[in-house]
Amino acid sequence: MELDELKSLINQKLTTADAGRSGNDIAQILTRRTGSVIDKLKRSLWIEIFSCIGAILLFAYFGFAGGNHAYHIYFSVFAVLTAIFLVIVIYLLKRTQQLSATALPVKSNLQTIVHIIESFMKRYFQFTMGMIPACFVFALLLIYQDHGSIPDAGTIFGAYFKTTGQMFLFLIGYVTLLAAGIYYFTRWYLKRLYGRYVEQLKQCILELEEQD
């Protein structure tokens, strides 16, 4: 049952049930109904975990099987970064599992769920946006320092740009547009998968506070 139905049940309970038993009844209802939100969050975290593991294996493969030193450094570094993100996701999954296995008061339960989801959204967004300049800077540094082992880079850029300044202006514009696209997509993605549940839970919390 979705949270809209849960809110309706809460309102009915507050208006019709005996005052001495309404708190316990509401706690039992919320314990059952918020389980669906927690389960969806855990599924999303498991998807992130498996995606991270797949990315780490892929980066590690290209890092060790790369044809030159630059490729080895580039993919190895991002394998490490992805592993750091994996640790964060695993931590959030454990927090979620602990919450679902612990009986807390109604309001505290909802507040903890909101905190977990918002923490996940914040770290996910920060990591995604942080990867953009990291990729750009690492690519430029490796091309500059290991130019001899990447001969195609100079040939490709030289065919389209007359000066180094033109090349850098193009790269800056490209990265800016890419960052803007990833920024709005990531915000939309997080809001669709997690943000709407955060807002629904916050509304339930406000309604409970009004009854205190």
Domain parsing of the chain, residue ranges: 3-211
Cα separation, 212 vs 210, in Å, equals: 6
User: Distance (Å, rounded) from C-alpha 77 to C-alpha 83?
Assistant: 10
pLDDT number for residue 104? 57
- pTM check: above 0.95: no
- Return the pLDDT at 10: 54
Buried b or exposed e, range 121-142, using 16+ CB within 10 angstroms: beebeebbeeeeeebbeeeeeb
Which pLDDT score, from 0 to 100, does residue 81 have? 84
**Distance from chain centroid for Cα 90:** 12
What is the pLDDT averaged over residues 6-23? Answer: 52
Mean pLDDT of 143-151: 58
- Residue 27's contacts (CB-CB under 8 Å, 6 or more residues apart) are 105, 106
In single-letter form, the type of residue at position 8 comes to: S
- The pLDDT tens digits of the residues spanning 161-196 come to 666 676 677 778 878 898 899 999 999 988 887 888
State what percent of residues in the chain have pLDDT above 70: 66
Q: State residue 180's pLDDT score.
A: 92
Provide the strand spans (E) within 105-205: none
Mean pLDDT of all residues belonging to the chain = 74
- Band the pLDDT of 29: cuts 50, 70, 90: low
pLDDT(211) > 80 = no
What average pLDDT does the segment 66-71 reach?
69
Q: Give the pLDDT confidence score for residue 30 in this predicted structure.
A: 59
Over pLDDT 90: what percentage of the chain?
Answer: 8
Confidence tier at 21 by pLDDT (50, 70, 90): very low
Asked if the model's pLDDT at residue 121 lies above 60, the reply is yes
Structure tokens given for 13: 């309970």
Cα gap 133→81, rounded to integer Å: 13
Distance CA 83, CA 87 (A): 6
Listed in sequence order, the residues at least 6 apart from 99 whose beta carbon sits closer than 8 Å to its beta carbon are: 38, 109, 112, 113, 116
Q: Which two tokens stand for residue 68?
A: 């030159």
* CA angle at 39 for the pair 97 and 96, rounded to the nearest 5°: 25
Report H helices in the chain: 3-16, 19-65, 69-100, 106-145, 151-160, 164-190, 196-211
Please compute the mean of the pLDDT values over residues 59-64 and round it to a whole number.
84
